[in-house]
Chain A
Amino acid sequence: MIEFKNVWYSYDSHEANKAEGGKETKGASKTQADWGNAPDSPWALEDISFAVQKGEFIGIAGHTGSGKSTLVQHMNGLLVPTRGQVLVDGVDIANRQAAADARRHVGLVFQYPEHQLFAASVYEDVAFGPRNMGMPENEMDSIVREALELVDLDFEALRDVSPFELSGGQQRRVALAGVLAMRPSTLILDEPAAGLDPAARRELLALVRRLHTELNATIVLISHNMDDLAQLCDRILVLNKGRVHAFGEPARVFMDSAAMKNIGLGVPSAQRLANLLKEQGLFLPVPSSGLFTPESLVETLVKAYKEGI
Chain B
Amino acid sequence: MIDFKDVRFTYDGQQYALDGVNLHIEPGSFVCILGGNGSGKSTLAKHINALLLPDGGTVTVLDKKTSDPENTFFIRSNAGMVFQNPDDQLVASLIENDVAFGPENLGVPAPELRERVTEALRAVGLQGFEKKETAALSGGQKQRVAIAGMLAMQPQILVLDEASAMLDPRGRAGLMRVCKELNEAGMTIVMITHFMEEAAAADVVHVLSGGKIALSGTPEYVLGQVEVMEDLSLDIPFAARVSHDLRAAGLPLAMHVDETGLVNDLSRLLKGGAQ
Contact = CB atoms under 8 A, between A and B. Distances in A.
B139 A64 contact: yes
Instruction: State the main secondary structure of chain B at its contact with A.
Output: helix
Given A282-B270, A305-B269, A309-B270, A298 B169 contact: no
A161 B80 CA distance: 38
A302 B194 CA distance: 30
B227 interface: no
A158 to B, nearest CB: 19
B170 A273 contact: no
B203 interface: no
B263 A195 contact: no
A224 B169 contact: yes
B169 A63 contact: yes
Interface string A251-285: 00000000000001010011011001100111000
Contacts of A120: none
Interface stretch (B93-101, B122-130, B153-161, B239-247): B239-247
B215 interface: no
Contacts, number: 97
Contacts of A196: 37
Contact of B138 (A65, A270, A297): A65
B238 interface: yes
B157 to A, nearest CB: 25
Contacts of A264: 170
B170 A277 contact: no
A171 B239 CA distance: 33
Contact of B266 (A65, A277, A295): A277
Max chain A Cβ within 10 angstroms of own Cβ: one of B37, B246, B259, B274: B37
Interface stretch (A133-141, A173-181, A197-205, A237-245): A197-205
A33 B136 contact: yes
B107 interface: no
Contact of B270 (A224, A294, A305): A305
Contact of B233 (A65, A195, A198, A224): A198
Interface in B106-146: 135-136, 138-139
A280 B233 CA distance: 34
A308 interface: yes
A266 B169 contact: yes
A124 B234 CA distance: 34
Contacts of A195: 165-166
A266 B169 CA distance: 9
Given A280-B267, A305-B273, A63 B170 contact: yes
Interface string B237-268: 01101100110011100000001101110110
Contact of B36 (A197, A276, A277, A298): A197
A224 B138 CA distance: 16
Contacts of A281: 267, 271
A195 B271 CA distance: 42
A304 B171 CA distance: 37
A34 interface: yes
Max chain A Cβ within 10 angstroms of own Cβ: one of B166, B168, B264: B168
Given A33-B136, A282-B270, A168 B37 contact: yes
A269 B233 contact: no
A273 B168 contact: no
A199 B233 contact: yes
A138 to B, nearest CB: 39
A198 B250 CA distance: 28
Interface of A: 33-34, 63-65, 167-169, 194-200, 224, 227, 264, 266, 269-270, 272-273, 276-277, 280-282, 294-295, 297-298, 301-302, 304-305, 308-309
Given A270-B238, A302-B250, A309-B274, 7 more contacts: A197-B233, A198-B36, A199-B234, A200-B36, A200-B37, A266-B169, A301-B246
11 contacts: A63-B168, A64-B139, A169-B37, A196-B37, A276-B260, A277-B266, A294-B238, A301-B251, A301-B266, A305-B270, A309-B274
